[in-house]
Homo-oligomer: A and B are copies of this chain.
Amino acid sequence: MKNFFSVADVDNLSTIVQEALELKANPNAFRSLGQYKMLGLVFLNPSLRTRLSTQKAALNLGMDVMVMNMDKDGWALETRDGVVMDGTTVEHIREAAAVMGEYCAILGLRSFPSLKDRKEDYSEDLFNKFSSYCKKPLISLESATRHPLQSLTDLITILENTPSTQEVDGQSVSVRAKPKVVLTWAPHVKALPQAVPNSFAEWMCKAQEQGLLDFTITHPAGYELDEQFTQGATITGNQNEALSNADFVYVKNWSSYQEYGKILVTGREWMPTPEKLKVTNRAKIMHCLPVRRDLELSSALLDGPDSLVIQEASNRVWAAQVVLKRILENL
């Protein structure tokens, strides 16, 4: 692996999940692989899970880690070319990225979208420029349109919770179950990026292609995701129909892609509750966190026996570690 930006950076999803689960079983087996190698984590936006899990993954591989919080250091980056820098930006991404590339063997970058200019956000201009100028392998810690470490984590968690054997005529037979995975929109008070649902959708669509699961998306009208991420998914505006027989329900809010960055639906009609989940196959509940309790998702589900949210967050370490391991092996 050279970079990690989207599902396109991984061929066989089943294989990478297997490798991640081996790291989970044996976290320190590769402590010498990253020795004397520096990982630089650059945060243009806040982070809790991503920061901690990626740091831990790197330490598990023996790497050194430096964290740079550029949001709080008043270090506004210029990304446009051909402008006279006589305003508020203090450094051009050309220099900033190149310099950090000099100090690090691998870099990670988090950068949220503006939610104002769809074309600019979806061009992934900042991420692409950073990648180009730093001249080192770059891992997305969430970009304007994707959050691939989260999506890989989600896939790990789904397959980890999918039985690989079934009882047939009283005998245990190795049969890969094919779970029904549903992504459902949920309410929120703030306008959130589409990065997590875009990314989840493109990973699930590929997993569906590779025969690992069946994938359905449900959301209110006006919340259609960019079609490049949803090829092959079943999409419906009927939440109840989508949830029917679901094995995994992935709950997430996002703002509109069509009316870019807008909140079109308020009220809690779309919030998953135990009542609504009755039509599922006793579905496991997933959410990338942080979650607004009783706004996005009912407390009863979050605290109930079918919630996977903590296990899911915990698996962030193994997603980051398998990605770092593959990049280190390729240096």
Residues in A lying within 8 Å of B, measured CB to CB = 27-28, 31, 36, 38, 40, 46-49, 51-53, 55-56, 59-60, 64, 66, 68, 70, 72-75, 78, 81-87, 90-92, 94-96, 98-100, 102-103, 189, 289-295, 299, 302-303, 309-310, 313-314, 317
Is B66 within 8 A of A52, CB to CB? yes
Return the contact of A68 from the options B36, B48, B68, B100 (Cβ within 8 A): B48
Contact status of A103 and B310, CB under 8 A, knowing A75-B48, A91-B291: no
Is B52 within 8 A of A313, CB to CB? no
Q: Which residue of B lies closest to A55 (CB)?
A: B66
In the bound complex, residues from chain B placing their C-beta under 8 Å from that of A289 are 91, 95, 99
The 4 tightest CB contacts between A and B, nearest first, are A91-B290, A102-B314, A85-B292, A99-B313
13 A–B pairs (Cβ distance < 8 Å), ordered by A: A31-B36, A46-B75, A55-B66, A59-B64, A81-B299, A85-B293, A85-B294, A90-B290, A90-B292, A91-B291, A95-B289, A102-B310, A103-B314
In the bound complex, residues from chain B placing their C-beta under 8 Å from that of A291 are 91-92, 95
Q: Which of A40, A64, A91, A99 has the most CB of B within 10 A?
A: A99
Cα distance, A38 to B54, chains bound together (Å): 13
Is B75 within 8 A of A52, CB to CB? no
Is B49 within 8 A of A294, CB to CB? no
Extra 9 A-B pairs, beta carbons < 8 Å, given A49-B99, A78-B293, A102-B314: A38-B59, A46-B75, A48-B68, A52-B66, A81-B299, A82-B299, A95-B313, A99-B314, A102-B310
